[in-house]
Copies of this chain bind each other. A is one copy, B any other.
Amino acid sequence: MIQKKIYVNGIEQNIFVHPDTFLVKVLREQIHLPGTKIGCNEGHCGACNVIIDGKLVRSCIVKIGRVAEGAKITTIEGIGTPTNLHPLQLAWVKHGAAQCGYCTPGFIVSAKVLLDTNPSPTREQVRDWFQKNRNVCRCTGYIPIIDAVMDAAKVLRGEIPYESLEYHYQPNTDIWSSRYPRPTGIPKATGTIKYGADLILDLPPERLYMGLVQAEVSHANIKGIDYSEALKMPGVVQVVTAKDVKGTNRINGVAFPSNKGDGKERPILCDKKVFQYGDAIAVVLAQTEAEAYAAAKKVKVDLEVLPAYLNLVAAKAPDAIEIHPGTPNVYFIQPLNKGEDTAPIFARKDVVIAEDSVITSRTPHMPIEPDCAFGYIDPDGCIFVHCKSIGVHLHKFMIQEGLGLADDKLHLVSNPMGGTFGYKFSPTTEAIVAVCVQASGRPCGLIFNYHQQQQYTGKRSPFYATVRLAAEKSTGKILGMETDYDVDHGPYCEFGDLLTVRGIQFMGSCHDIANIRGEGRTVCTNHGWGSAFRGYGGTQANFASEIVTDELAEKLGMDPLELHLVNTHHPPKGDYPGSTNPSGQILDSYSYEQMLLDMRPKWAEAKKRCKEASTDTIKKGVGIAAGAYGCGLDGPDSSNAFAELNPDNSITICTAWEDHGQGADMGAIGTAHKTLRPMNVDPSRLKFTWADTRNPVSGPAGGSRSQVMTGGAVRVACENFLAGLKKPDGTYYNTYAEATAAGVPTKYDGTFSVPGVPCDENGQGKPFMVYMYGVCLAEVSVDINTGKVHCDHIVFHIDIGKICNRSVTDGQLYGGVAQAIGLALTEDFEDIQKHRTMLAAGVPYCKDIPDNIDLVYYECHREFGPHGAAGVGEIPLCVPHPAILNAIYNACGARVKRIPALPERVLEALKAKK
């Protein structure tokens, strides 16, 4: 150890450190400034940015020994405070530039250095700066961030007043559809909100750190575990294995009855087998994280290695053994039979048939915050697990039996989260943490490093899909569709059946197709297990059908936009009941046609622009795609909330609406405020809650269901609140004192349900009562020498119903489009070793995302949405990526059929064309 004197945010700190300790650890763990975040922890993401003597530094790669004696360091805590925001922080709040907020400290610190050195940057210079300094944001698509920097610079230059960035609520007005700043904005912009890893640092001193012993093969039988050496290592308190699990040691995957497995194949800690790389076999509990992992290395696991089926082709091979003995590797099948048999249609002479097969990627979610959780036992002997769950009640149900815990002996609570994008629809570490808490009786914390995040959390499941479209030669009217696909869901079935159903629901969903035949199958493999990801199933399904739609247009000699228009849905009219989606359900909003018509001139301009701007080596092209996605779970769905007037006259809007950055805070407050308008409530009185299994059951925050379902429950609760607090004279008991004096209740429950009908064995039903729709135009540049593609421009027409909060919605859509660009061009987790870093897995940096993403909202009222709102999160992951792939084809004739469209795949497709 050495002593070093540094000045942090103007305060002298004498620190005692190992010179090899990275600065970020020193700042967080020794100087106790947790605003500086650990993301990738290898210098790829900028979450750990700090300023050292005026220079921007990624503190995760700077050893404290190399920091100069007397160095002056500024962290986010030194930029401004909640009561004294720096203009950058205020601008961040205004523009909703903090979504999950985990990258925010690093960005603001970075921007501070930029503006210190260049007070008047152009937008492009700001983008260059963030690109050069590797600031990754995974939520916002960067645009709100650039907006914030530009505005803060104006304030700093004295061109606009500081106050102009503040939101001033006017009494008796709506915040619905406004840019009211979300409640977590200031804590995020100041680095004062505490995420899981920060809270673990705050646990009492008896806290134990968990070091996982993980499989380094993908498939094996476990013959023995010897942890005697580990127990002798410094700081080790205990080693936990499957033998310490009190229940069934199985996570309940909530399998469909028609699933050939029982859905209980995932062990909490591996007992008999290893099913995938990274599977947890044992856990070392130690006083420090370093001690836990040092000891974990000493645990010897005796394995009989089995053949690893790393894709569905291998797992389906006739000689493949059953990964879960007793359950076939193909364990679920979903047929689709809509309308007439399609074989005769495809046999007709007057049709043009387009057919193609595509493969989608095992996309990693890449939140900047790696997974983490901690747990403890409360005085009643109940185990609390605080985690990144976006389905606290669901996950409690899924892990409870495996842990052997009674209903009142387990609670799950969501931490503020640095993004999940859906991977946390599946439990990850919750059950393992609970086991360790049970076994040790002490608070236990687990923080994944980024490699663990990549290798041992769920991924988007690849589809191997074939789509055939038959269209009337003369009109382009699609008469029939045939689909056939396999889903590689990794070793654990959790929601693999549900995902497979999404395939039949969303292939061809932007077209009015009367006759469809299709089948999807879920396949068990040994690659990373499948979990939800924004666009869940729609991403894969719509990719397949929109690529083939583009091919169909070419075969027909039609413009693809016009082909879409020919086939678009139409509303009921007179006797006409309205066109239906692949599930046979009429649409809740027939906005496609208007969105396509409005796109027509933009499409024409873009085609012209691309043609003119293409050169011999850089080919520019434009593509189009449309698509839909449902808001909700499959079939009937419901959610619960309550609204309560508190003694301090604040009003708690209590739900279990998990916020993984998407805006549960604002959703709850915005919806409540709109409902409570008759009472003229100042929005500052409204308090949201973090999700907790002690709160009303709101269902998971996935599938874009929350604004619809939990927003609906909030609406009902607030309507009941209004009714309950209404005075005989029509005014309201607006204070706690008035209400209690009048003897009226102060707490009002609300339940909201929708009459959905799950898809039947023919794939027909009313799976969602609210859908989102979109039409996307994408322009790209393709370097035909290198195969590198850049997305230059996106126009996205979207119908997500009425908008609750404009900043949040913009952020969701910009960010979703950015993820769609990554999905289309760079992101993958196919190579378990190579893709374990954010950089290698293709996370998009600032300059990978165009600054001109044009969002056009079609705010069509939704019957089942609160105040007419639909969801938001999935739609941008369903539509832009096929538009981009179609644009690549348009640019250079390379028809890339597997995403991401990596340079080598583009070059290969170019070669195939020749």
Binding site for B on A (CB under 8 A): 1-3, 10-19, 21, 29-32, 81-84, 187, 192-194, 199, 201-206, 234-235, 237, 287-291, 374, 376-379, 384, 386, 413, 443
Contacts and interface: CB of A to CB of B under 8 A. Distances in A.
A32 B204 CA distance: 11
A71 to B, nearest CB: 12
Contacts of A15: 202
A290 B187 contact: no
A206 B289 CA distance: 10
B205 A29 contact: yes
A2 B29 CA distance: 23
A193 B14 CA distance: 10
A741 to B, nearest CB: 23
Contacts of A192: 11-12
A82 to B, nearest CB: 6
B204 A443 contact: no
Q: Which of A3, A82, A378 has the most chain B CB atoms closer than 10 A to its own CB?
A: A3
A288 B205 contact: yes
A408 to B, nearest CB: 16
A104 to B, nearest CB: 15
A1 B443 contact: yes
Contacts of A2: 378-379
A220 to B, nearest CB: 33
B187 A11 contact: yes
A774 B187 CA distance: 58
B235 A204 contact: no
23 contacts: A1-B377, A1-B379, A1-B443, A3-B384, A10-B81, A11-B82, A12-B187, A12-B192, A12-B193, A15-B202, A16-B199, A16-B204, A16-B376, A16-B386, A19-B379, A21-B204, A30-B203, A30-B204, A205-B290, A206-B234, A206-B290, A234-B237, A287-B287
A287 B235 contact: yes
Given A3-B413, A234-B237, A291 B202 contact: no
Contacts of A288: 205-206
Nearest to A30: B202
Contacts of A31: 202
A1 B187 contact: no
Contact of A16 (B14, B32, B202): B202
A259 to B, nearest CB: 37
A203 B192 CA distance: 22
A378 B65 CA distance: 12
A712 to B, nearest CB: 27
A402 B200 CA distance: 41
Contacts of A11: 82, 187, 192
A287 B252 CA distance: 37
Contacts of A30: 202-204
B378 A1 contact: yes
Nearest to A437: B1
A10 B81 CA distance: 10
A185 to B, nearest CB: 13
Q: Which of A205, A235, A289 has the most chain B CB atoms closer than 10 A to its own CB?
A: A205
A292 to B, nearest CB: 11
Contacts of A84: 84
Contacts of A377: 1
Contacts of A290: 205-206
B194 A14 contact: yes
Contacts of A13: 194, 202
Contacts of A21: 204
Contacts of A18: 204
Contacts of A234: 206, 237
A647 B546 CA distance: 66
Contact of A1 (B3, B83, B204): B204
Contacts of A202: 13, 15-16, 30-32
Contact of A199 (B14, B206, B378): B14
Across the A-B interface, give the 4 residue pairs with the lowest CB-CB distance, nearest first: A32-B32, A205-B288, A1-B376, A287-B287
Given A11-B82, A82-B10, A205 B287 contact: yes
Given A11-B82, A16-B386, A206-B290, 14 more contacts: A1-B376, A3-B384, A3-B413, A10-B82, A12-B187, A12-B192, A15-B202, A16-B203, A16-B204, A32-B32, A84-B84, A205-B287, A205-B289, A206-B288
A666 to B, nearest CB: 17
A604 B235 CA distance: 72
A201 B374 CA distance: 21
A421 to B, nearest CB: 24
A238 to B, nearest CB: 10
A10 B376 contact: no
A231 to B, nearest CB: 13
A199 B4 CA distance: 12
A81 B8 CA distance: 13
A19 B206 CA distance: 14
Contacts of A82: 10-11
A869 to B, nearest CB: 28
A379 to B, nearest CB: 7
B235 A443 contact: no
Contacts of A194: 13-14
A3 B204 CA distance: 12
Contacts of A205: 29, 287-290
Contacts of A237: 234-235
Nearest to A384: B3
A413 B203 CA distance: 31
Contacts of A32: 32, 201-202
Contacts of A291: 206
A206 B291 CA distance: 8
A495 B378 CA distance: 54
A93 to B, nearest CB: 15
A443 B206 contact: no
Contacts of A201: 32
Q: Which of A13, A30, A237, A290 has the most chain B CB atoms closer than 10 A to its own CB?
A: A30
A83 B16 contact: no
Nearest to A289: B205
Given A187-B12, A237-B235, A204 B413 contact: no
Nearest to A31: B202
Contacts of A379: 1-2, 19
Nearest to A445: B16
B203 A83 contact: no
Nearest to A19: B379
Nearest to A12: B187
Contacts of A17: 204
A443 B376 CA distance: 28
A406 to B, nearest CB: 19
Contacts of A19: 379
Nearest to A205: B288
A443 B30 CA distance: 13
A30 B204 CA distance: 6
A291 B237 CA distance: 13
A287 B208 CA distance: 10
A787 to B, nearest CB: 47
Contact of A204 (B12, B29, B81): B29
Nearest to A648: B70
Contacts of A289: 205
A850 B235 CA distance: 54
A21 B376 CA distance: 15
A783 B723 CA distance: 70
Contacts of A83: 10
A32 B200 CA distance: 12
B16 A443 contact: yes
A202 B14 CA distance: 9
Nearest to A190: B11
A443 B234 CA distance: 14
Contacts of A199: 14, 16
Nearest to A192: B11
A1 B376 CA distance: 7
A307 to B, nearest CB: 42
Contacts of A206: 234-235, 288, 290-291
A908 B81 CA distance: 61
Nearest to A411: B3
A376 B386 CA distance: 35
